Structure 1
């Protein structure tokens, strides 16, 4: 990892971290994934973006800031684009590799769509395909305050200021002493700090933290946990997606018709996110994206947990589904 200043000898100890390696050392290091998208849009000069209804509203930030036209598209029950539009020569398609499960679709799109941008914010361990502009979000998978990686198939680069993350780690350090619940308000405050930030290079702190991650263990844990949940819940899962083998997914998406599942899980201190509340404003209740947002339960499978935790979640779910 590069050093921010000339080496200092002596003085107090900094935060002790392992001097490991990043997972994507050769990709462009940026502060957020939405800014990685902005980076691509600036370099490519696209005049219009086709993006899915089923995505986070922050993806609109760079598009609106750059005053670029955009149009939403629908996805089918396999979470793949419904092509009822044509992409012009100066336009692009943004596709989300949902939960890290849609790498085969990414490969198909690479062969059939020009001007493709892949959002791998939910697919950290899915390696970028050669020649395809692809970006990642680090904090979706690891305990870091920010950070993104970008592959872009051009030698052109933007000259960027270095970001600073020292004022964004409060929720991470506080949660160690006081727990996730106590620090949730700090987490929301940090998320707000990332809104409408300028494109900057990844901070030294975030890069140091990413050099401290055991990526092999993290990947294997996700694969093991996801497989356990799928083995036990696939009969109850209404999601019409073929789950690939050995997938280090972001979460296990469980689509169920019964109402109130999320609230009952939260009562048991199983905290599940909603991807994404804004979709309910963009769509109508007869659209598949609306159903996905309303009815899908996103179960954690990450490296913080083992099979005992997965078994506990399965036991709770089987009593309430």
Structure 2
């Protein structure tokens, strides 16, 4: 009798969750469990001795660096999210730059011409095409309703030997939001984030990969672009952040930079949930820095594929009452 193992397909029994199976957006990239682990993977394979990190970034980036005990130095970005490169990156060093909100593709291209060992953080830029030969990583759950998952383009042919992650215990916040509403799943969402903080580098789980194969990416891309451009036409006169509409390619959010205090709290009170990117920055930099201003005043307005023109009008009307 054939032994019952995970490698043998089960025939019969109960019917599983039914999802359409189409194509991953990045089928040829390395598939890992988290974006922060993509960065750790790069650093382990490439063997850099020092990494330059922007002050304006998530603290989990620093956690990944500290985990493998590599030296690091911070660098500044200006109020337009461009890097301030008042230093030289040595041959055995690298520079990490974030494609902020998926709107800095031109900056990434310019950096490629200047920096040999460039690492691009596309966690906020899922639809931005990775440049040839540039180590680049993406987050799945920042753009889609999946429990975890990340993609990595690696310039080296070397690979780490990994086991596969299991995501079934990180799924509850997604189904609770459908069945009970966003508020009922929020505690599970936070618990999921905590669970991922110390997770080892692993291959993407079968569940997350299956879900990533079921997404209509073209529809998601079109909706994000349409919603972004609609907000921009109404809010650009208020926005201190320069945005080139021609460079929009499935951005994560519409970043509205305004000098007004307390807008985030007032928007959240209207159930327009606006995150802070990133609260740790307020402890890393001085209060007169551009990064401090960005962390305090930038509103990342939701524009993703869940929303339509009526939702965008609600955001616009609410903001115009507050501004």
Q: Kindly tell me the number of residue pairs found equivalent between the two proteins.
A: 319
Look up the match of 2:163. 161
Look up the match of 1:234. 236
Look up the match of 1:58. 60
Q: Does 1:294 align with 2:296?
A: yes
Matches within 5 A, 1:1-321: 5-321=7-323
2:163 touches 2:203 (CA, 8 Å); kept in 1? yes
- Deviations 1:259-307 (CA, angstroms, capped at 9, x unpaired): 1111111111111111000000101110000000000111000000011
Q: CA deviation at 1:182?
A: 1.5
Matched position secondary structure for 2:183: coil
Q: CA deviation at 1:109?
A: 0.8
Q: CA deviation at 1:8?
A: 1.3
Q: For the aligned residues, what is the CA RMSD?
A: 1.2
- Deviations 1:146-205 (CA, angstroms, capped at 9, x unpaired): 100000112111110000000000101111111111211110000000012110000000
How far apart are the structure 1 equivalents of 2:14 and 2:24? 26
How far apart are the structure 2 equivalents of 1:266 and 1:148? 29
1:27 touches 1:149 (CA, 8 Å); kept in 2? yes
How far apart are the structure 2 equivalents of 1:221 and 1:178? 25
1:174 touches 1:183 (CA, 8 Å); kept in 2? yes
TM-score normalized by structure 2? 0.97
How far apart are the structure 2 equivalents of 1:190 and 1:197? 11
1:4 touches 1:204 (CA, 8 Å); kept in 2? no
Structure 1 residue runs without a partner (length 5+): none
How far apart are the structure 2 equivalents of 1:251 and 1:109? 23
Q: CA deviation at 1:245?
A: 4.1
How far apart are the structure 1 equivalents of 2:23 and 2:224? 20
Stretches (4+) displaced over 3 A: 240-246
Matched position secondary structure for 1:114: coil
Structure 2 residue runs without a partner (length 5+): none
